[in-house]
A and B are shown apart, each in its own frame.
Chain A
Amino acid sequence: MQGLEFSVVFENMNILLQGMFWTVVLCSSASLLSIVVAVVLAMTGISKLKPVRSATLFFLWVFRGTPLLLQLFLFYFGLPQVGLYLSPIITGIIGLTLHFGVYNADVLRAGILGVETGQHEASRSLGLSYFQTMRKVIIPQALRNVSPAVGNNLIALLKESSLVSIITVPELTLSAQRAISETFRPFEFYFAAGALYYVVNWGLEFILQRVEARTALTR
């Protein structure tokens, strides 16, 4: 049994922290964009037009029923074939955004349908159009209703972001692999990467708890 030497981790900490920086960038961008995607897909998912609704529900079914890794491969190899030559980081953001946008869309759709119809009626009778009602009255309430579920999805996003290392995005997991290729100590570095993810996760949970406390609807 080879001895474990965690000192190499501290010597190469800068590589890991660089990776962690990109992980945070990746996850923040993907989180925000996924909420935008979720709003769009939630709206088309409750559309009165059957083709729009069916297409959306089919799309949601496919992207919820397939693994994130497969979707990342689709974008990484497929986008260049349709002429879009994007950097791995952008491709990673697109993949994560779409995947979690789909998850959040289902959650948000349930939230929208859960807002009492009295809100719709009141807004319409005050002269607001359908889209104005949605934008100013319903969706804000729906978002506050489902913020715990969305928060859970954001935490999942942080952990699943490690997959983009497979499509060569220089985030924390890939940085650990870089360090390993120089020091040949996989256990120490993967363990350290795991610890860093755990710390960031803990921080994210803390932030989400505060957000939920402030946005919770008190009855």
Chain B
Amino acid sequence: MDYELILRVTPFFAKAAWTTVVVSFLSFALGLSIAFPAAFCRLSQNRFLQIPSRVYVSVFRGTPCLIQLFVIYFGGPQIGIQLEPFMAGVLGLGINIGSYMTESIRGAILAVSRGQTEASRSLGLSKFQAMRKVVLPQAAGLMISPLGVNTIALIKGSSLVSAISVLELAYTAHRFTNSTYRPFEMFILASTFYLVIITLTSKAIRNLNGRFAYEK
């Protein structure tokens, strides 16, 4: 076990870990921005809203994330989309995780009992008011846990953008394994950073869950 090597390359891994965090965060934000509208479309009675949403969820949950990234990064230029790796990575990850988040949000909204909606409507609230003031606040507590699972998956999934040459943790681990021929040390170093990032994120999610979610 070459400890001196580990100490020598840690700065590179630390920098790459920051890239991983940034990529994950931006993709998370993008995914959430797509997921909320998509979830509402999915729940809508309007078929022109519902069908595209169902297709979106089915396609992006039913195909590998790597393929999606490759279509955007390598195939994009053919349809006029020329993005640099970081942007393509965030876009691809965001759209992919958005489809999973859509289902998490939809599940949470459906889990709020119909009685709440019925009671609100009978008290004179419109559909939008009922959703905004009664259902969503309750659904919010229910969706933290599933969205948390999605987020952890996203952080691990961010390793895929190494395949389109984004300089994050997995890419750095690969690069240094190639140059130093010490795969175990590089694995230990990279996994330590991932475990730290993921464990901290999990703790934050549990914290959030404890504060906003409640048992029925």
A137 at the interface (CB under 8 A from B): no
Q: Is A121 an interface residue, CB under 8 A from the partner?
A: no
Inside 8 A of B68's CB, which chain A residues have their CB? 194
Are the CB atoms of B170 and A69 closer together than 8 Å?
Answer: yes
| A residues neighboring B (CB under 8 Å) | 1-2, 4, 61-62, 65-71, 73-74, 77-78, 81, 159-163, 165-166, 173, 180, 185-188, 190-191, 193-195, 197-198, 201-202
Residues of A contacting B80 in the complex (Cβ-Cβ under 8 angstroms):
1
Report the Cα distance A160→B158, complex, angstroms.
Answer: 13
A163 & B67 in contact (Cβ 8 Å cutoff)? no
**What CA separation (Å) do A173 and B62 show in the bound complex?**
15
Question: Chain A contact residues: over half helix, strand or loop, or mixed?
Answer: helix
Q: Which of B67, B75, B199 contacts A65 (CB 8 A)?
A: B199
Which of B28-36, B46-54, B184-192 forms part of the interface with chain A? B184-192
Do A201 and B71 touch (CB < 8 A)?
Answer: no
Asked whether A73 lies within 8 Å of B187 as measured between CB atoms, the reply is yes
B64 touches A190 (CB 8 A): no
Query: In the complex, which residues of chain A have a beta carbon less than 8 angstroms from the beta carbon of B77?
Result: 2
Of all chain B residues, the one with the shortest Cβ separation from A78 is B183
Partner of A163, one of B71, B160, B173, B181: B160
Within 8 Å CB of B86, what residues of A? none
- In the complex, the chain A residue whose C-beta lies closest to that of B71 is A190
| Given contacts A67-B157, A67-B159, A186-B78, A197 and B183 within 8 Å (CB-CB) | no
Contact A162 B66 (CB under 8 A): yes
Q: Given A73-B177, A166-B163, A194-B71, are A66 and B59 neighbors across the interface (CB < 8 Å)?
A: no
